[in-house]
């Protein structure tokens, strides 16, 4: 076997050993060999090498087999041997997460900025915050990569934002190159909703599914799509723009939805927190109905608070929002036939009635089989979904894909 081929096979085997020990440890060498279908001699050599890198360690002896004999030495994955960084950039702040290789949070921080027109300055502040959280240079050298969640369409080849409503000044700036040169590590970029979807898939509500659609509801609406464990971007990376879906005539009219529906053409014109707030302002001022919101600021928080106190107008508005969302959800179910729909974002987090109404509405679809089978759940990670999803981009590149990324692995454990 050529030397290059030998190194390739060895690295594939090493990553397989790491995955097994990481996911199933503590575990013995012989059990790893059995799982992989290779000899104990091969596994012994791989383990010796990995023990020398500090990514595996021995934790003592396990139980003897039923046949007796010597107790095996057990192996455990050292999750603290490397760090993953997740960053989510918002309109006026960036949230940062530092985790070990099991995505266990070690440090968390926020960088605030009123002016987002200077991406270089903001990225420099993010870098300084990462350096402060991580600490000394040795730990900085253990960073496996930085995952970056950004609002808008991403230019994956150029490592920049292609288009963004909230970060207009960032369009075209070489974000990936700047951070890789500054931090001397690999940088992964993704749209914010897609990143949140990855977070929920790996560590949140979607852990038990392979095909997931995540619907985010806040100031806008968007969706992330997971097919067979992989994020689906589409040819222009714009897959999931469900807000542009046109509203069909089925059941959506002014008579049934008098608060929210004013003959809009697209779901994205209705299913936003801004439209909910504006519609409630109009409803409070127009019909003179008794409501806790009459003398209050009309905000999502106050609408949610009023609904919890059984305010009839707030309950009706949220019920309308949920039913219209359910109609959109039916389209998503019939198009993708996923195992699970996850809903998240400020509207869902603060107004659980919306999820309840959307679920009822979706389950009434005429195509009963897909509607009955799909699970509809609220997101579990809340504000951490984006940063954990960004961490997930780093860790899945090393551990998760069936076809491994040897470039990432080589940067972490150099071949002999």
Name the band, by pLDDT with cuts 50, 70 and 90, for residue 295.
confident
Name the band, by pLDDT with cuts 50, 70 and 90, for residue 53.
confident
Name the band, by pLDDT with cuts 50, 70 and 90, for residue 271.
very high
pLDDT of residue 4: 42
Average predicted confidence (pLDDT) for the chain: 88
200-204, 285-289, 307-311, range with the lowest pLDDT: 285-289
pLDDT of residue 65: 57
Question: Of residues 178 and 79, which shows the higher confidence score?
Answer: 178
Please check the confidence at residue 66 and state whether its pLDDT lies above 80: no
Pairing of strands 83-89, 230-231: unpaired
pLDDT of residue 6: 43
pLDDT of residue 412: 58
pLDDT of residue 3: 40
What are the tens digits of pLDDT across the range 305-323?
A: 999 999 999 999 999 999 9
Its sign, for the CA torsion 163, 146, 100, 198, is: positive
Please check the confidence at residue 281 and state whether its pLDDT lies above 50: yes
Name the band, by pLDDT with cuts 50, 70 and 90, for residue 5.
very low
Decide if domain 3-77 falls under CATH 3.30.70.20.
no
pLDDT of residue 124: 97
Domain 82-199+385-412 is in which class?
A: alpha beta
The mean pLDDT value for 142-166 works out to 94
For the stretch 90-122, what's the b/e string if a residue is b when 16 or more beta carbons lie within 10 angstroms of its beta carbon?
A: beeebbbbbbbbebeeebeeebebeebeebeeb
pLDDT of residue 17: 86
Decide if domain 205-380 falls under CATH 1.10.3720.10.
no
Please check the confidence at residue 88 and state whether its pLDDT lies above 70: yes
Name the band, by pLDDT with cuts 50, 70 and 90, for residue 341.
very high
Please check the confidence at residue 408 and state whether its pLDDT lies above 70: no
Please check the confidence at residue 133 and state whether its pLDDT lies above 50: yes
pLDDT of residue 276: 97
Name the band, by pLDDT with cuts 50, 70 and 90, for residue 13.
confident
pLDDT of residue 72: 83
pLDDT of residue 9: 56
Phi, psi (5° rounding) for residue 257? -125, 65
| Residue 103 · residue 409 · CB < 8 Å | no
Give yes or no on whether 82-199+385-412 and 205-380 have one common fold.
yes
Share of the chain above pLDDT 70, in %: 88
Name the band, by pLDDT with cuts 50, 70 and 90, for residue 159.
very high
pLDDT of residue 35: 87
Residue ranges per structural domain of the chain = 3-77, 82-199+385-412, 205-380
């Amino acid at each position: 076997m050529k030397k290059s081929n030998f190194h390739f096979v060895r690295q594939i085997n090493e990553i397989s050993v790491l995955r097994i020990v990481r996911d199933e440890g503590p575990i013995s060498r012989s059990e790893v060999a059995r799982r992989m279908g290779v000899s104990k001699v091969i596994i012994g050599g791989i383990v010796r090498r990995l023990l020398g890198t500090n990514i595996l360690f021995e934790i003592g002896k396990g139980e003897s087999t039923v046949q007796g004999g010597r107790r095996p030495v057990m192996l455990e994955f050292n999750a603290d041997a490397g760090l993953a960084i997740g960053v989510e950039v918002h309109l006026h702040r960036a949230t940062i997460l530092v985790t070990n290789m099991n995505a266990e949070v070690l440090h968390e921080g926020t960088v605030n900025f009123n002016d987002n027109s200077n991406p270089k300055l903001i990225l420099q502040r993010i870098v300084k915050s990462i350096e402060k959280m991580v600490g000394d240079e040795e730990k900085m050298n253990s960073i496996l990569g930085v995952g970056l969640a950004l609002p808008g369409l991403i230019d994956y080849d150029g490592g920049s934002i292609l288009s963004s409503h909230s970060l207009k000044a960032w369009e075209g700036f070489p974000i990936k190159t700047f951070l890789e040169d500054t931090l001397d590590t690999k940088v992964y970029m993704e749209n914010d909703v897609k990143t949140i979807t990855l977070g929920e898939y790996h560590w949140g509500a979607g852990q038990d599914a392979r095909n997931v659609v995540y619907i985010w509801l806040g100031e806008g609406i968007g969706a992330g799509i997971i097919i067979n464990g992989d994020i689906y971007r589409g040819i222009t990376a714009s897959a999931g723009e469900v807000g542009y879906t046109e509203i069909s005539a089925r059941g959506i009219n002014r008579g049934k939805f008098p608060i929210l529906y004013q003959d809009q053409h697209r779901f994205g014109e209705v299913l936003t927190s801004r439209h909910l707030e504006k519609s409630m302002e109009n409803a409070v001022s127009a019909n003179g109905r008794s409501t806790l919101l009459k003398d209050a600021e009309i905000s999502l928080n106050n609408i949610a608070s009023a609904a919890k106190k059984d305010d009839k107008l707030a309950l009706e508005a949220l019920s309308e929002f949920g039913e219209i969302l359910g109609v959109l959800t039916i389209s998503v179910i019939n198009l993708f036939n996923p195992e699970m729909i996850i809903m998240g974002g400020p509207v869902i987090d603060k107004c659980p009635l919306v999820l309840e109404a959307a679920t009822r509405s979706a389950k009434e679809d005429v195509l009963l089989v897909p509607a009955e089978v799909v699970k509809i759940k609220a997101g579990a990670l809340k504000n951490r979904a984006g940063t954990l999803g960004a961490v997930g981009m780093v860790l899945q590149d090393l551990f998760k894909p069936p076809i491994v990324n040897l470039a990432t692995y080589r940067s972490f454990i150099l071949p002999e």
